[in-house]
């Protein structure tokens, strides 16, 4: 069992930055692929970024490439999402996720394939 707790959301102006953190419980953090999803009002939850177990490989949705960076610290059981050059369309609840599927296929898999979810943190980008 893995419990995930997100933090770092908030209100920011267009062009600003935020850094999300996700703290995971348990001693098996390094055995999980970790990632971030988001859900805007009235829309389905969508993939944002994923990082492999050792942190060497990362994957992003096209609309955030070059602006968002996912990283992890396996010594602290934490995954991060650095978000720069934020746009109003990035406004959403951001969810931390953990799973056993390899990170490379996360962009194409349905959300039901994710094993564990956090409760989410709200990011609002004002225009």
Q: How far apart are CA 81 and CA 79, in angstroms?
A: 7
Strand 58-60 versus strand 46-51 pairing type: antiparallel
Check residue 79 and give its pLDDT. Answer: 98
pLDDT more than 90, % of the chain: 92
Check residue 19 and give its pLDDT. Answer: 98
Residue-by-residue pLDDT tens, the chain, 127 positions: 899 999 999 999 999 999 999 999 977 999 999 999 999 999 999 999 999 999 999 999 999 999 999 999 999 999 999 999 999 999 999 999 999 999 999 999 888 889 999 999 999 999 9
Q: How far apart are CA 27 and CA 4, in angstroms?
A: 13
Check residue 27 and give its pLDDT. Answer: 77
Taking the CA of residue 12 as centre, how many other CA atoms within 13 Å lie in the half-sphere pointing to its CB?
22
Give which of 43, 52, 29, 53 is closest to 91, Cα–Cα: 43
């Amino acid at each position: 069992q893995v419990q995930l707790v997100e933090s770092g959301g908030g209100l920011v102006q267009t062009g600003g930055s935020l850094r999300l953190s996700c703290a995971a419980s348990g001693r098996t953090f390094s055995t999980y692929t970790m990632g971030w999803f988001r859900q805007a009002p009235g829309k389905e939850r969508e993939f944002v970024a994923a990082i492999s177990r050792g942190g060497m490989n990362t994957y992003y949705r096209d609309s955030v490439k070059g602006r968002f960076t996912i990283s992890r610290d396996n010594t602290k059981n934490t995954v991060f999402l650095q978000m720069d050059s934020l746009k109003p369309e990035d406004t959403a609840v951001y969810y931390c996720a953990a799973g056993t599927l390899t990170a490379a296929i996360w962009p194409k898999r349905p959300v039901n394939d994710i094993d564990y979810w956090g409760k989410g943190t709200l990011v609002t980008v004002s225009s």
